[in-house]
Amino acid sequence: MSDNPYAQYPAERRRDEFGLEEPPRVSILAVLSLILAVVCCIPGLGVLAVLFGGLALAGIGKSRGRVTGKALAGVGVALGILATVGWLAISIGLAQAWSMYKTQIVGGSAPMVQAVSDGDVQAVRTHLRESASADVADEEIALFSAMIQREFGDFVEAPTGFSEMLESFAAAYGQSGVRGGGGGSQQNPAIPIALQFDNGRTVIHIVIQNDSFATSLLRVDDFFIVMKNRKALTLRRDGPAASSAVSMGFDPFHVSELSAAERPALPAPPEAPSPAPAPEPE
């Protein structure tokens, strides 16, 4: 027979009778799950909140009451799922918007910029909406093209690579940047597009007719190009591009405001082909 008077009592019973049972503790994973779910402004934290919350619930279920925090873990999992779904929706929306910007806006505007660089007046008009085309004379389009050719040279491309676009924005805006967002009205904003020419980079801001986004050809209401002196050369004299340029901190000007000395020389019109000589009588 054992000399220990407590040997006949099980160990668990002795702890209960003498108040030696450890108090339940809160799950650290449950607390982390809630914290990560609350601070869900950083993408990816919602996934961690769901993961830690799930592990916490599993551990709490196996602890037989020694670990608590089921409510914290449940809230963390719920908020984490909401945050993850929200970030997925935002990411998908941003990816679709970026794809539309590169393919439809940049890709659709590049032929217009090429026509401007080439001085092809009629090709430029095909990209303008009817009211905008009627507001601009052929000579104004030709002078606009000549100014761009004199300032930047031949058009190379409208880059869609992120680093090339940043270089164009930095060249056009400089260290001071621009005021406001994209300029223009909320319905028809002046959308910036990076451009590369032989003699430098710059940015064109185009005001696009809203209903042309659903068509294969963009219809432009107006646009301005940022010159090297941070002035904005506008296509129309009193169009929406001028007010957009002012709201962004640029000094807009129109070719009609140029003096005779400031105007670039226009290329000579192509000579008409000489008529074929009349056949000699037999």
Last residue of a domain, one of 106, 132, 149: 106
Helix (H, G, I), strand (E, B) or coil at 68: strand
The reported pTM is 0.72
Residue 126's domain spans which residues?
A: 119-257
Cα separations in angstroms, 199 against 136, 144, 152: 27, 17, 5
Q: Is residue 112 part of a domain?
A: no
Q: Which of 43, 224, 20, 15 is nearest to 136 (CA)?
A: 224
Residue 253 sits in the same domain as residue 123: yes
Residue 61 sits in the same domain as residue 141: no
Q: Is residue 209 part of a domain?
A: yes
Our count of domains for the chain comes to: 2
Residue 128 sits in the same domain as residue 253: yes
Q: Is residue 13 part of a domain?
A: no
248's CB contacts (< 8 A; 6+ apart) are: 178, 179, 180, 183, 190, 205
Helix (H, G, I), strand (E, B) or coil at 237: coil
Residue 158 sits in the same domain as residue 59: no
50's CB contacts (< 8 A; 6+ apart) are: 33, 76, 77, 80, 81, 84
pLDDT tens, the chain, 282 aa long: 556 554 555 554 444 454 555 677 888 888 888 888 887 777 788 888 899 888 988 888 888 878 888 888 888 899 889 988 998 999 999 999 899 889 888 988 999 999 999 999 999 999 999 989 999 999 999 999 999 999 999 999 999 998 999 999 998 888 556 665 455 444 567 899 999 999 999 999 999 877 666 566 778 999 999 998 889 999 999 899 999 999 888 999 999 998 888 888 877 655 545 566 666 665
Nearest-angstrom CA–CA distance, 255 and 252: 10
Last residue of a domain, one of 106, 131, 165: 106
Residue 159 sits in the same domain as residue 249: yes
Nearest-angstrom CA–CA distance, 223 and 207: 6
Tell how strand 190-197 and strand 220-226 pair up.
unpaired
